[in-house]
């Protein structure tokens, strides 16, 4: 059986539509992210009414994030963390930096509203891991009475302890090749997944097109012809 070029084109188009539909419905069915304990919504911050007196409480979060950065990326990471802090309506309280043995290290203390701590934490982790590795995260949550605290004390404290790692002797080539190997590995995984899923999907779509084009449509046309023929007594 010779397969027509038109049928191949329709099979490819059908497989692409099926793939995009699967991705679309999978994204729609994903549950929204729930911050959990780190979230401090308006109800939690508005307080409770006890014996006719309203008391406002806050969940005060303190965090410590430690990370190891690739050599030469310290300044860029600090700048991006400062931008992220301002985007989350916070500020950098202090920044201490030290340059020793050709590498930078430092401690950044950021103050943020409790409602934005969760998003800041994941954003800061993404920034650090794009230039190195997050080695430690510590989180503590404390419920405080806002009426007894100043505005600064109601802000959560984020301690960012960062340091660059100096490459070991003889490991320079390995460090340079690591990003290339990571890209090649990721590309190979994508290609393998595409072949494993795409090839069977294309053949299945081609089979559907051939069934419709050579089976269902001719049968439907023959049925229409029979219904249009006049009845002979």
Domain ranges in the chain?
55-174
Cα 191 to Cα 91: distance, rounded to the nearest angstrom: 44
The candidate with the shortest Cα–Cα distance to 117, out of 150, 155, 146, is 155
Q: Is the pLDDT of residue 112 over 60?
A: yes
pLDDT band at 207, cuts 50/70/90?
confident
pLDDT per position as a tens digit, 23-41: 777 777 654 444 444 444 4
Task: Give just the sign of the alpha carbon dihedral 49, 50, 52, 56.
Answer: negative
- Give the percent of the chain with pLDDT over 70: 74
Phi and psi dihedrals of 101, rounded to 5?
Answer: 55, 40
Could you tell me where the DSSP H helices lie in the chain?
5-29, 42-46, 74-87, 117-129, 172-211, 217-228
pTM over 0.75? The answer is no
Look at strands 48-50 and 156-165 and give their pairing: unpaired
- Give the percent of the chain with pLDDT over 90: 29
Cα 7 to Cα 28: distance, rounded to the nearest angstrom: 31
| DSSP-assigned beta bridge partners for residue 112 | 156
Q: Which fold has domain 55-174?
A: 3.60.90
């Amino acid at each position: 059986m010779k397969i027509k070029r038109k049928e191949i084109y329709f099979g490819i188009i059908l497989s692409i539509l099926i793939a995009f539909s699967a991705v679309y419905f999978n994204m729609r069915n994903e549950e929204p992210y729930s911050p959990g304990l780190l979230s401090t919504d308006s109800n939690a911050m508005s307080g409770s009414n006890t014996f006719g007196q309203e008391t406002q409480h806050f969940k005060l979060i303190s965090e410590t994030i430690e990370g190891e950065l690739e050599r030469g990326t310290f300044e860029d990471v600090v700048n991006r963390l400062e931008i992220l802090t301002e985007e989350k309506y916070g500020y950098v309280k202090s920044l201490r930096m030290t340059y020793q043995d050709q590498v930078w290290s430092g401690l950044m203390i950021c103050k943020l509203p409790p409602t934005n701590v969760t998003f800041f934490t994941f954003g800061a982790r993404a920034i650090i891991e794009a230039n190195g590795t997050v080695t430690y995260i510590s989180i503590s949550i404390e419920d405080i009475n806002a009426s007894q605290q100043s505005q600064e004390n109601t802000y959560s404290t984020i301690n960012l302890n960062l340091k660059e790692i100096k490459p070991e002797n003889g490991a320079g080539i390995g460090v340079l090749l690591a990003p290339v190997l990571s890209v090649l590995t990721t590309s190979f995984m994508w290609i393998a997944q595409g072949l494993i899923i795409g090839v069977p999907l294309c053949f299945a779509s081609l089979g559907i097109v051939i069934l419709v084009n050579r089976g269902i449509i001719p049968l439907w046309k023959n049925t229409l012809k029979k219904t249009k023929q006049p009845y002979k007594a």
